Chains A and B, each alone.
Chain A
Amino acid sequence: MLKNFEPNKIFLITSKAPKYILFAFIIIISIGLIEALIISPEDYIQSHSVRIMYVHVPSAWISLGTFSVIAILSFVILIFKNKSFILIAKSLAPSGLVFNIIALVTGSIWGKPTWGTWWAWDARITSMLILALFYIIYILAWRIYDGTEKVDKVTSLIAILGAINIPIIKYSVDWWSTLHQPASINIFVKTSIHSSMIVPLALMTAAFALFSILIFLMKYNTELIKIKNKGLDRL
């Protein structure tokens, strides 16, 4: 079933989707930014620097989510030799890396006024930096092994190895003493963020997710066109 993705049929959809997604993105980011920067209240202790959280947390979530998807796709690629997932995994990486870097930079900007330091080598921040390195290695591997037979295997293995880091990032704040605070949003336990701050957080997460899908589709379409131009009718 998975092997029968027709590149031409996919391209019909993926080449039209970006403009609708861009439209939805602009609407949601506008509402999200108004909520995050103007309407939402300041924090009782951090005052206005809490607004950095509305960029930092969604970026971190999306970079983690994107890498998880790449790792799962890579697993399927290696086990079932699925060809159509290869380009999807490859096209997801750039936006994941960008959001990872945004999370690190905004975290640093938030850390200075809150903690009193730009950077700390604690478990959460270091594991997040390792994720960024995995993204870079993954993208570089695509460049270095471009056009060779083993490119699928090498990149997929890198993604699967990097996936071990994902639960470490998630649980680093529980397993070790870190400067970074533990998770505020919990599925099973009561969330410790006030509801007036959840709204902009949810909107910004939706907006960033749409943006990363947009960047993914643009990259994916470019890859499809590249294959077409090579005169190859296989994916």
Chain B
Amino acid sequence: MYGKKVKLRLLFLSFIFLIIILSVFLILKSLEENVVYFISPTEIKNLPEIDITKRIRVGGMVKEETIKLNQNQISFVITDFKNEINVTYSGAVPNLFSEGKGVVAEGYLKDRSFFNAKKILAKHDENYMPPEVKEALEATK
């Protein structure tokens, strides 16, 4: 149907395209550590060794009933429902920061279960709804 030249160009271009996709995949795979924005408490637990001088981000859910305020320090627990990590932080938190919601803490590990945060980011989930709907949902629980 199409000429030999068209077929050749199609083959050549597809070949180049596949090779580039493969190399992009391999690059992203090897850089995975840097591509992920935060790591979970479980991943911290499984780290072969911890570096207390390296600034890292830990993310998960703020465990219910763990936010404690004393003077100008706030402490809470980040959980991924398998493992947890205790976080301390002094400073302002974003409006969306609350119990049972997603959070990303940036700072330094003290050890495998204590984290000293320098910055707190709230993570929003994919749910959008008016307050009345949320109340109705809560009521049916």
The answer to whether A and B come from one shared complex is yes
Chain A residues in the interface with B (C-beta under 8 A):
41-46, 50, 53, 75, 78-80, 113-117, 120-123, 160-161, 164, 168, 176-179, 181-184, 192-194, 196-197
B140 smallest CB distance to A (angstroms): 15
The docked-state distance in angstroms from the alpha carbon of A225 to that of B20 is 38
A79 smallest CB distance to B (angstroms): 5
Is there an interface contact between A181 and B125, defined as CB atoms closer than 8 Å? yes
Query: Chain A contacts of B17 at CB under 8 A?
Result: 160, 164
Is there an interface contact between B94 and A50, defined as CB atoms closer than 8 Å? no
Quick one: which of A79, A116, A197 contacts B93, CB cutoff 8 A? A116
Quick one: which of A115, A176, A183, A196 contacts B123, CB cutoff 8 A? A115
Is there an interface contact between B128 and A179, defined as CB atoms closer than 8 Å? no
Query: Chain B contacts of A164 at CB under 8 A?
Result: 17, 20-21, 24
Tell yes or no: B9 within 8 A of A by CB.
yes
What total of A-B pairs shows CB separation below 8 Å?
110
Closest to A115 in B: B121
Is there an interface contact between A53 and B121, defined as CB atoms closer than 8 Å? no
Q: B6, B21, B104, B134: which has the most chain A beta carbons within 10 Å?
A: B104
The docked-state distance in angstroms from the alpha carbon of A41 to that of B135 is 14
Q: B2, B35, B95, B133: which has the most chain A beta carbons within 10 Å?
A: B35
**Known contacts A42-B131, A176-B35: does B124 contact A117 (CB below 8 Å)?**
no
Tell yes or no: B96 within 8 A of A by CB.
yes
Is there an interface contact between B124 and A45, defined as CB atoms closer than 8 Å? yes
Given A181-B126, A194-B133, list of 12 further CB < 8 A pairs? A44-B133, A45-B96, A78-B13, A79-B13, A116-B97, A123-B36, A160-B13, A176-B36, A176-B37, A177-B40, A192-B128, A194-B128
Tell yes or no: B59 within 8 A of A by CB.
yes
Tell yes or no: B139 within 8 A of A by CB.
no
Query: Chain A contacts of B119 at CB under 8 A?
Result: 116-117
Is there an interface contact between A79 and B10, defined as CB atoms closer than 8 Å? yes
Quick one: which of A44, A117, A120, A161 contacts B130, CB cutoff 8 A? A44
Is there an interface contact between A116 and B120, defined as CB atoms closer than 8 Å? yes
Is there an interface contact between A176 and B32, defined as CB atoms closer than 8 Å? yes
- Chain B residues 96-132 with CB under 8 Å of chain A are 96-97, 101, 104, 119-132
Contact with A along B3-30 (1 / 0, CB 8 A): 0001001100100010011001000100
- Sorted nearest first, the 3 A-B pairs with minimum C-beta distance are A116-B94, A41-B130, A44-B134
Is there an interface contact between B130 and A196, defined as CB atoms closer than 8 Å? yes
Query: Chain B contacts of A161 at CB under 8 A?
Result: 20
The docked-state distance in angstroms from the alpha carbon of A121 to that of B126 is 19
Quick one: which of A123, A182, A194 contacts B129, CB cutoff 8 A? A194
Tell yes or no: B39 within 8 A of A by CB.
yes
The docked-state distance in angstroms from the alpha carbon of A179 to that of B57 is 11
Is there an interface contact between A120 and B128, defined as CB atoms closer than 8 Å? no
Closest to B3 in A: A80
Tell yes or no: B38 within 8 A of A by CB.
yes
The docked-state distance in angstroms from the alpha carbon of A116 to that of B120 is 8
Is there an interface contact between B36 and A177, defined as CB atoms closer than 8 Å? yes
Quick one: which of A53, A121, A122, A178 contacts B128, CB cutoff 8 A? A53
**Known contacts A164-B20, A177-B59: does B128 contact A197 (CB below 8 Å)?**
yes
The docked-state distance in angstroms from the alpha carbon of A178 to that of B104 is 10
Is there an interface contact between A41 and B37, defined as CB atoms closer than 8 Å? no
Is there an interface contact between B133 and A117, defined as CB atoms closer than 8 Å? no
Is there an interface contact between A193 and B128, defined as CB atoms closer than 8 Å? yes
Query: Chain A contacts of B120 at CB under 8 A?
Result: 116
14 contacts between A and B (CB under 8 A): A41-B130, A42-B131, A43-B128, A44-B131, A50-B128, A79-B13, A115-B94, A116-B119, A120-B37, A123-B35, A177-B38, A179-B121, A196-B130, A197-B128
